[in-house]
Structure 1
Amino acid sequence: MAMIGILGGMGPLATVDFMDKIVRLTHANSDQEHLPLLVANLPHIEDRSSAIIDGGADPLPALLDGIDLLNRNGVGLIAIPCNSAHHWYGPMRARSKAPVLHIAQTCVAAVPRAARRVALLATGGALVSGFYQQALADLDIEPVLPDESMQLRVAACIREVKAGKLDAAGARLEDVLIALASQGVGTALMACTEIPLAARHIASPPLILIDSSLELARATVKYACERGWNRPA
């Protein structure tokens, strides 16, 4: 039986949200028409941003252990609902026996064609890594990075989601979106899978928000359904 492998736990709430999106995006009339998922929810993987920015503990060994776990169980595709972890996309893809979707590629593909400047809302580690900036540049789109004050609020938003403080996270995020809108930015990528959870607590976001978790889920469902993984044998 072909299964989708999810390398998650970074963080757990974002992983559950990603799974929920896969279920909701799958056109099914019964349990048997849903997609099989094997989820490695591994919250003890070392902090990705700390490793990228400050030389903190290296998460790659634990990430590769997660890939190995999914390999042993014969998954046919791997999705990783953590943006910062894609700093190590190359070695993870090399270790995997199955294709591994790239969250930035799926997210940037959803940017409106008319957009020429797009804000990046992400962890400091993902911004330093630069893979989103490169993906946007490949489409001739200018990435707009938050200034230091905004980035502190984005980081606080992400921490509050991880701590389950969603209302407070939404307030932090709304402040950032208002500031970006005042600069003439019309579109922002929620390039951290915690941020969409905060965005749900904003009544009327002033920007077009593109959800990296949702776009990864769409690509995952498309891949699996095209191969009939949603149809009973």
Structure 2
Amino acid sequence: MNNKVIGIIGGMGPEATADLYMKIIKATDARKDQDHFRVIIDSNAKIPDRTEAILGIGESPVNALVETGKNLEMLGVDVGCIPCITSHYFIDKIQSKLSFPILNALEEVKKYISLCYPDVEKIGVLATSGTIKTGLFEKYLTNTDIIYPSAETQDEMVMKAIYGANGIKSGNTEGEPLDLLKRASNELINKGAELLIAGCTELRLVLRDYHVNVPLIDPMEVLAKAITK
């Protein structure tokens, strides 16, 4: 039972990687230790910043992502995943260099929404500026209206909550980051969003279902359930 080996190309960020591992544990149908999957994690926090690369102000992370995947490949993983939505912009390039399949979190979110929320027409997305620029959500969530925060809210609330001096990347998961994300969420809801997607893995370290009054989808939770089937 549960004999496949799962690999996590991690470190983006370290806490989001640990959070995905916990989600995989919780999603596994297990009654004893031996019922769980073998999970191999390379938490490579040295991978260049994905948002900076997409915005053209930083080094490409592809080589480092492939190198990290190769480490997992040598250890015999059967399927892999990446706990970073922004990194999915590079997923085809990464996949082309690896022998094991990488489960695409955005593909799984598309399936999940089609199954559980088939009538939703407007989806609010909280994500990094890099992810927004790529159009990743428009690519996968077709036939829906994707709503993003205003430019000011994106910079002063979402990105500040993630990258600010008191942000999530600095280890803060309460206080200012939560307040900023709740305000950004309410803006999307006021614009007509019927559900929200936490389109950056760090966001769910802070923002919970009970903080908003519409469904809040965690792509990593969806991914964890899919990879443990």
TM-score (norm 2): 0.91
Name segments (4+ residues, structure 1) moved above 3 Å.
none
**SS of residue in 2 equivalent to 1:188:** strand
Q: Deviations over 1:114-167 (max 9, x none)?
A: 111101111111111112111112xx1111122112212111122211111111
Q: Deviations over 1:62-82 (max 9, x none)?
A: 011011111111100001010
Q: Does 1:211 align with 2:218?
A: yes
Please give the alpha-carbon distance, in whole angstroms, between the structure 1 residues aligned to 2:210 and 2:170: 21
Partner of 1:120: 125
Q: Does 1:85 align with 2:87?
A: yes
Please give the alpha-carbon distance, in whole angstroms, between the structure 1 residues aligned to 2:185 and 2:160: 14
The gaps in structure 2 that reach 5 residues or longer are none
Partner of 1:150: 153
Please give the alpha-carbon distance, in whole angstroms, between the structure 1 residues aligned to 2:18 and 2:28: 16
Give aligned pairs, total. 219
Which range moves more in the overlay, 45-54 or 180-189?
Answer: 180-189
Partner of 2:139: 134
**Where in structure 2 are the equivalents of 1:1-233 lying within 5 Å?**
2-111=4-113, 112-137=117-142, 140-152=143-155, 153-159=157-163, 160-167=167-174, 168-200=176-208, 203-222=210-229
Q: Is the 8 A contact 1:158 1:194 kept in 2?
A: yes
RMSD: 1.3
The gaps in structure 1 that reach 5 residues or longer are 223-233
TM-score (norm 1): 0.90
Please give the alpha-carbon distance, in whole angstroms, between the structure 1 residues aligned to 2:40 and 2:24: 12
